């Protein structure tokens, strides 16, 4: 079943959202800070060990009810089912968006375009496991049996941000002798730095590009491969050390990559949703396949919750509705995500592409211009560092901002005093950022997303929850979240200038 995008302001519930917003703004103006003490503002998903505390949002029980009514009018549950079931939700490109299938169990069956995609997914996972196992057992080596010490992922956008985030977040679980590098920018500085420190015979290269047409990726690969050859690797030795992940295998072969070393991707996986596919190969290679699998299992657990939980108890749905409330109804221009955990220091980079490339659009797929705000500008970083940078603006600046503070309850280290200080800061900032300051009514709309502990499973749940949040924001706002026509013009103009 396929759904047309319905503009949010054509919903029968749109006017009730507008009056709820006006009422809330009056309450804030008259009473100062709005404290929503309704227990429903805290969504605790006990079985997943994750809780969203929305008690510092500009929301009361009646406004939350209006949001739920709006979600029903926009058929969000049916749209979720269509997304997970393989319907053609990407209308402009006539594709499904089946990233959920990438973490589905072997026993599942998800049919898209007349084909069950689950066997394809599991055949690729098996290949990833083979490679990771061979590397960790010392069977996958460089030229002349040289042990591999370095892995270079060459890719950009979705072919970079997901695996870069995960490898960084889980680096404590990786063996010391394997380093992973991410080369994305076309600026030659990155390639030059790598060429200064790598030994070609001890390095594996992964060229990750869904289209295999991306200028940055092709140029970086060309430069590094030319350097390897000039440093003494033979063409066949180099070929054995290069892998590609792509939905265009013919283009990768034409580039010189051995057919056996090409792992598939499919049109129904969007780049920014692709870390679960072979795009995650650097994760599996660095951490070992088991950790990658744990991350997939975490994502699958969140998928199950998303698929089954009632609208009112559904975490990704709640996150999406809060984003619509803050960004579209209350018109807050930006959303700041601050992780109170060093392991999530790259989270916001990943989230920026996920949310803004997906929902930074002003038209429905059928071309109708939208008369309301769509994606917020997403930014943020790391607590407590950023308290000493832009938090001044959040506290006393002139713009209202919605804020997510992410924290982990149990530390994974023995520095207990640090963790107490870290969580005290997160808690203090949640209150401080939400409060009225210096006569400014309202402060910011703050959520605290709290995870019991942090491991590959939790990371999988977290990323999956945000993926679903993004898809449901788009579905509610009448946007196709799965294409990115706006990035093409810049590529064409740069290509023309390069040739001029």
Interatomic CA distance for residues 34 and 58, integer angstroms: 6
Among 49, 142, 157, 327, binds ligand F6P (CB under 6 A): 157
Of 221-240, binders to ligand F6P (CB under 6 A) are none
Dihedral sign from CA coordinates of 348, 196, 210, 101: negative
CA proximity to 155, closest of 257, 227, 245: 245
Q: What is the nearest approach in angstroms of ligand F6P to the Cβ of residue 484?
A: 5
> Which tokens go with 37?
């003490």
- Catalytic member of 294, 357, 400, 467: 357
Of 453-492, binders to ligand F6P (CB under 6 A) are 484, 487
The answer to whether 29 and 89 have CB atoms below 8 angstroms apart is: no
Give the x/- contact pattern for ligand F6P in 3-42, rule: CB under 6 A.
----------------------------------------
Dump the DSSP string for 448-465: EEEES--SHHHHHHHHHH
Q: Is 388 a catalytic residue?
A: yes
CA 455 vs. chain centroid, Å, equals 17
> Which tokens go with 325?
């409330």
Instruction: Rank residues 217 and 444 by Cβ distance to ligand F6P and give the closer one.
Output: 217
Q: What is the nearest approach in angstroms of ligand F6P to the Cβ of residue 218?
A: 9
Q: What is the nearest approach in angstroms of ligand F6P to the Cβ of residue 212?
A: 7
Contacting residues for 31 by C-beta, under 8 A, at least 6 apart: none
Give the x/- contact pattern for ligand F6P in 62-81, rule: CB under 6 A.
--------------------
- Catalytic member of 310, 388, 488, 498: 388
Instruction: Rank residues 255 and 391 by Cβ distance to ligand F6P and give the closer one.
Output: 255
> Which tokens go with 147?
């042990």
The answer to whether 264 and 126 have CB atoms below 8 angstroms apart is: no
Q: Does 259 bind ligand F6P (CB under 6 A)?
A: no
Instruction: Rank residues 453 and 491 by Cβ distance to ligand F6P and give the closer one.
Output: 491
Q: What is the nearest approach in angstroms of ligand F6P to the Cβ of residue 256?
A: 17
Looking at residue 368, what DSSP letter applies?
A: P
DSSP 3-state assignment of 438? coil
Among 90, 203, 209, 220, binds ligand F6P (CB under 6 A): 209
The answer to whether 406 and 338 have CB atoms below 8 angstroms apart is: yes
Centre a 10 Å sphere on the Cβ of residue 420 and count the other Cβ atoms it contains: 11
Q: What is the nearest approach in angstroms of ligand F6P to the Cβ of residue 490?
A: 8
Q: What is the nearest approach in angstroms of ligand F6P to the Cβ of residue 488?
A: 8
The answer to whether 359 and 327 have CB atoms below 8 angstroms apart is: no
Neighbour-count burial of 395, counting CB atoms closer than 10 A to its CB (0-12 exposed, 13-18 middle, 19+ buried): middle
Among 99, 272, 291, 468, binds ligand F6P (CB under 6 A): 272
Instruction: Rank residues 211 and 412 by Cβ distance to ligand F6P and give the closer one.
Output: 211
Q: Does 156 bind ligand F6P (CB under 6 A)?
A: yes
User: Pairing mode, if any, of strands 111-112 and 150-154?
Assistant: unpaired
Dump the DSSP string for 180-191: EEEE--SSHHHH
Q: Does 90 bind ligand F6P (CB under 6 A)?
A: no
Q: Is 291 a catalytic residue?
A: no
Q: Does 185 bind ligand F6P (CB under 6 A)?
A: no
Q: What is the nearest approach in angstroms of ligand F6P to the Cβ of residue 491?
A: 7
Q: Is 357 a catalytic residue?
A: yes
Centre a 10 Å sphere on the Cβ of residue 10 and count the other Cβ atoms it contains: 11
Residue whose tokens read 């803050």: 326
Instruction: Rank residues 310 and 488 by Cβ distance to ligand F6P and give the closer one.
Output: 488
Among 104, 159, 374, 387, binds ligand F6P (CB under 6 A): 159
Q: Does 164 bind ligand F6P (CB under 6 A)?
A: no
Contact region for ligand F6P (CB under 6 A) — 67-75, 122-130, 155-163, 405-413?
A: 155-163
Q: Does 211 bind ligand F6P (CB under 6 A)?
A: yes
Dump the DSSP string for 306-358: HHHS-GGG-HHHHHHHHHIIIIIIS---EEEEEEESGGGTTHHHHHHIIIIIH
Interatomic CA distance for residues 481 and 208, integer angstroms: 22
The answer to whether 105 and 33 have CB atoms below 8 angstroms apart is: no
Contact region for ligand F6P (CB under 6 A) — 156-164, 194-202, 415-423, 429-437?
A: 156-164
Q: Does 364 bind ligand F6P (CB under 6 A)?
A: no
Query: Where on the chain is the footprint of ligand F6P (CB under 6 A)?
Result: 156-159, 209-211, 214, 217, 271-272, 357, 484, 487
Q: What residues are labeled active site?
A: 357, 388, 491
């Amino acid at each position: 079943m396929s759904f047309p995008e319905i503009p949010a302001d054509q919903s029968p519930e749109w006017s009730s959202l507008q009056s709820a917003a006006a009422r809330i703004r009056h309450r804030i103006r008259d009473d100062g800070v709005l404290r929503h003490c309704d227990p429903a503002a805290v969504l605790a998903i006990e079985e997943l060990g994750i809780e969203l505390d929305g008690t510092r949002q500009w929301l009361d029980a009646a406004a939350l009810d209006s949001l739920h009514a709006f979600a029903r009018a926009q058929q969000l549950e049916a749209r979720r089912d269509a997304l997970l079931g393989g319907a053609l939700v990407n209308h402009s490109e006539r594709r499904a968006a089946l990233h959920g299938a990438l973490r589905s169990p072997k026993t599942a069956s998800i049919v898209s375009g007349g084909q069950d995609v689950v066997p394809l997914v599991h055949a690729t996972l098996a290949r990833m496991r083979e490679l990771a196992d061979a590397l960790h057992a010392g069977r996958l080596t460089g030229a002349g049996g040289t042990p591999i010490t370095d892995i270079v992922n060459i890719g950009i956008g979705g072919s970079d941000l997901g695996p870069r985030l995960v490898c960084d977040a889980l680096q404590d679980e990786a063996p010391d002798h394997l380093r992973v590098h991410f080369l994305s920018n076309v600026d030659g500085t990155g390639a030059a730095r790598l060429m200064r420190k790598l030994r070609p015979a001890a390095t594996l290269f992964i060229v990750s590009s869904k289209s295999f047409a991306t200028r940055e990726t092709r140029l970086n690969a060309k430069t590094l491969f030319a350097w390897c050859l000039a440093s003494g690797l033979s063409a066949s030795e180099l070929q054995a050390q290069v892998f590609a992940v792509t939905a265009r295998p013919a283009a990768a072969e034409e580039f010189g990559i051995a057919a056996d070393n090409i792992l598939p991707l499919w049109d129904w996986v969007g780049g920014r949703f692709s870390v679960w596919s072979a795009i995650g190969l650097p994760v599996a290679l660095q951490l070992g396949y088991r950790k990658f699998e744990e991350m997939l299992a975490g994502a699958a657990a969140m998928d199950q919750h998303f698929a089954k939980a009632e609208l009112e108890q559904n975490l990704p749905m709640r996150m999406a509705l809060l984003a619509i409330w803050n960004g579209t109804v209350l018109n807050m221009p930006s959303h700041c995500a601050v992780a109170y955990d060093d392991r999530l220091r790259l989270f916001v980079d990943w989230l920026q592409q996920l949310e803004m490339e997906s929902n930074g659009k002003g038209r429905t797929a059928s071309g109708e211009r939208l008369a309301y705000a769509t994606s917020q500008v997403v930014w943020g970083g790391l607590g407590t560092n950023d308290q000493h940078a832009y938090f001044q603006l959040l506290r006393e600046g002139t713009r209202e901002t919605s804020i997510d503070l992410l924290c982990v309850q149990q530390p994974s280290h023995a520095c207990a005093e640090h963790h107490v200080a870290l969580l005290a800061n997160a808690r203090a900032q949640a209150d401080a950022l939400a409060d009225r300051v210096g006569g400014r009514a309202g402060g910011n709309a703050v959520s605290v997303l709290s995870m019991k502990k942090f491991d590959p499973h939790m990371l999988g749940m977290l990323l999956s929850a945000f993926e679903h949040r993004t898809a449901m924001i788009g579905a509610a706002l009448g946007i196709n979240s799965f294409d990115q026509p706006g990035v093409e013009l810049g590529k064409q103009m740069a290509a023309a200038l390069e040739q001029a």
